[in-house]
Amino acid sequence: MKYLKIPKTSVLVITNALIFFGILLFVFFSAKNVLSEQSNNHLVDVSLPKPLNSSDVKLYKEIFSLQEIGKIKEADQLIKELSNRILIGHIQSQKYLHPNAWRSTFNELETWLLNYSDHPDASRISWLAKKRKPKSAKNPIPPKKGYLNGVGQNAPQRWRALIPESYKGRISPRQTAFVAKKVRRYNLLKEPTNANKYLSNSSNLRYLTPSEEAHLRGEISHAYFIYGLDDKAILTARQAIGKSPKTSYMAYWSGGLAYYRSYQYELSKIYFRTLADMEDAPDLLRSGAAFWSYRLSLRDSDPQNAIKYLNIAKNLVNTFYGLMALQISGQKISVNFQGPFISDDFVPWLTRTRGGRRVLALLQIGDWTRASRELRYLYSEASFSQQKDMMMFAVSHNMPGLAFRLADLHLKNTGEAFNSALYPEPETHIKFDIDPAIIYGIIRKESSFYPLARSRARATGLMQIMPATAAFISKDRRFVNTNRHLLNNPDINLKLGQDYIFHLLDTPVVDQHLFKLLAAYNAGPGNLNKWIKKIDYRGDSFLLLESLPARETRAYIKSVTMNIWMYRLKQESNLSQLRTLVHGNIRNGDIAFLRPNVISN
C-alpha cells in the first residue's frame, strides 16, 4: 500500500484582495450563524439550560458579528430588539474595545465598570479607563479579582543546569550566578571563545564548584557545535569531562554530536553510551544519548546494543527522543484519552451564579471564547471537584484553551493526567486539507489553544499568525492595520494558518519535510534557508535538527512533533509514517503531511 500525497495547492487561495472581506467575512459571520447552530447540536448537551429564546439567540449572533467588522450603528438597532439582556456587558465591551470602529469615552468605560466589573474584559476596560481618565476624575471601580490567567504549557524539551547547584557554604552564590549568566550571554551572542576565556579566568573560577564548571564548559562545547566548530566543541567537552566526569552531561551530549558530525563514529558512540548509561543524567539528555547510541549500534550491525539503548530511550516517554524510540520499537501503544464524567451538580452550580448563567447563554450562541473566559472567573470560586468538572465541561463544549489550562494545572497539582483535556481538539468550520494532527500540534505549542493569544512580535491567534503574513497569504493589506483584530477569530486564523503551511510546503527549502516545515514556521523560511546552506547534515533529519543554531527552534520542533504523535494516537490514525521518519532519512520527510488513513493501491 502506498500513501497518497495531498496535491500541492497554490498559496494564493484568495485571488482578489478587494473582495476578500466582502465575501470571506460574509461567509464567516453570516453563514456562521447557521453553522454554529448545527455545531451546537453535538457540542452542547441538550440538557443544558437555555437562558435565551430562539429570537435572542439569532439577535446576539448578528450583533456580535456586526460589531466585529465595525458595523456599530447596525448592531445598535438590533440591541433594541433584545428581550433578555444577559450579555449586554459583553456587547458593550466588544464595542468599547474595538480597535477602530469606536472610540470610547471615560464616562462610558466608568459606567461599564460600575455595572460589569465581574466580566472577563474588566481588566482591559479598567486599563483603558485609567488611560482616558481626566485629571479631576476619580479612579473607576477596579475589576473583580480571581480571574485565572495563563495557558497550558508544553513539556520543556531542552535542559540547562541550575547554577549555583547549592547555596550552603558558598563564598558568594550571587557571584556564582553572575558568572553563569555571563558565560551564557557570550554563548547567546555567538561568542563561545570569549565565554571560554571568561570562564578560564581564575578570579571567576573561584566561585564555581568542579561540577558547575563542567556544566558551563559543556554549554560552551555545545555552542561551538551549534556554530559549526566541531574541533573546539570536542576539545571543550573533554576539558569539561576532565573536571567532573560524573556530571558533565552536556559535555557528553555535545561531544557525541560533534564527533558524529566529524565522522568519528567510534568516539561518538563512546560519548553517547556513557551518557545513556548515567542513571542520574537528565531525562532529556539521557534519552537523546540512548537514541543516538541505538542509531550508531545499527550502523555497526550490533543488534544487542541497539536493543539495549532503544529500551533505555523508550522508557523515557516524556521526551522527544523517548517517543521516537517508542515509535521505532513497534510496541503497541495505549494512551487513555477518556476523562472523568461531569458530576450532576456542576450545571446547577453554574445556573446559581451570574457568570455561570452568562456561560450558558454564550454557549447557546456558539461563542466558546467568551464562555471560556467567563469560566476562568468562576475557577477561583469552585471547589476541587468543581474545578475538575469545569475541565471536562470545557472539553465537551469546545473550549480547548481552558481545557488545556485546567488539565495542566491539575497535572502539576496532583500528578494525574487527563489526556483528553491535555490534547484538546477545537471544533471549527474550516475544512482541513492536511492532517488535523499537524494543525493541532502547532496550535498546542503556539498559543495553547487560546484564541486571543498575542506575542511580543504581534503574532496573533491560535496559530500565531503575523499580520504581515496574513496580508501576504490573503493578498489583503488590511490585516496589517484595520483588520488585524480579525486574526483573533479562530476560523479566520485557522484558514490563514493552513494556507501558510501549504505555502511553506511548496517552497524548495521545506520540500514537504516535517522538521523543515516546523523550523520555517517557527523561525521563517529565510532563516531556515540560511541555516541549511551552512549545515553539513548529510541527509540526516536528526543531525539537521540538532545542528539548527536557534535553540528555540530546536525545542519547538521537538515539542510540536510530540504533539503530532499524541494527536495521531488520539485520532487512531496510522503511525507508520512517523515510524519511517525516525530513521532520519530526509526523503521520507513528506510522509507527515498526508491526511490520515488516505491510501490507494
Instruction: Tell me the CATH number at 254.
Output: 1.25.40
| Domain annotation covers residue 447 | yes
d(CA 189, CA 466): 26
Q: Is residue 527 in some structural domain? A: yes
**DSSP β-bridge partners for residue 2:** 600
Q: Are residues 366 and 486 in the same domain?
A: no
Q: 455 with 581, same domain?
A: yes
Do both 474 and 575 map to the same domain? yes
Cα angle: 100, vertex 104, 106; to 5 degrees: 150
| Domain range enclosing 227 | 158-263
CB 454 within 8 A of CB 447: no
pLDDT at 44: 42
Residue 26 inside a domain? The answer is no
- Same domain assignment for residues 591 and 462: yes
Tell me, yes or no, whether 553 and 446 share the same domain.
Answer: yes
Residue 457 shares a structural domain with residue 539: yes
Domain assignment of residue 388, yes or no: yes
Quick check: is 430 in a domain? no
Predicted local distance difference test score (pLDDT) of residue 339: 83
Q: What's the pLDDT score for residue 575?
A: 61
* 60 located within any domain: yes
**Does 304 reside within a domain?**
no
Q: Where are the alpha helices (DSSP H) in 447-584?
A: 467-474, 490-506, 514-523, 525-534, 541-547, 551-570, 576-581
Length of the chain: 601
DSSP annotation string for 1-44: -EEPPPPP--S-----GGGHHHHHHHIIIIIHHHHHHHHHHHHS
Q: How many domains does the chain have?
A: 4
Q: Mean pLDDT for each consecutive 10-residue tract of the chain (601 residues)?
A: 31 35 40 36 61 97 95 96 97 96 95 96 96 93 94 87 89 93 96 97 94 97 97 98 96 98 97 97 97 96 96 94 89 83 94 97 96 96 96 96 96 94 92 91 96 92 95 92 89 94 92 92 96 91 95 96 92 63 45 36 23
- How far apart, in whole angstroms, are the C-alpha atoms of residue 43 and residue 363? 9
CATH number for 581: 1.10.530.10
Phi, psi (5° rounding) for residue 76? -60, -35
Residues 577 and 446 both lie in one domain: yes
Q: Within this chain, do residues 374 and 401 fall inside the same structural domain, yes or no?
A: yes
- Same domain membership, residue 441 and residue 415: no
Helix 210-226 vs helix 249-261: crossing angle, to nearest 10: 30
Model pLDDT, residue 574: 57
Which of 132, 148, 174 is the last residue in one of the domains? Answer: 132
Predicted local distance difference test score (pLDDT) of residue 22: 43
Distance CA 398, CA 363 (A): 9
**Residues 241, 165: one domain?**
yes
pTM of the model: 0.86
- Whether 461 and 520 map to the same domain: the answer is yes
- Judge whether 296 lies within some domain: no
pLDDT at residue 335, rounded to an integer = 84
- Looking at the fold, whether 396 and 447 belong to one and the same domain comes out as no
For residues 212 and 193, give the distance between their C-alpha atoms in angstroms, rounded to a whole number.
Answer: 18
**What per-residue confidence (pLDDT) applies to 587?**
41
Terminal Cα-to-Cα distance of the chain (whole angstroms) = 6
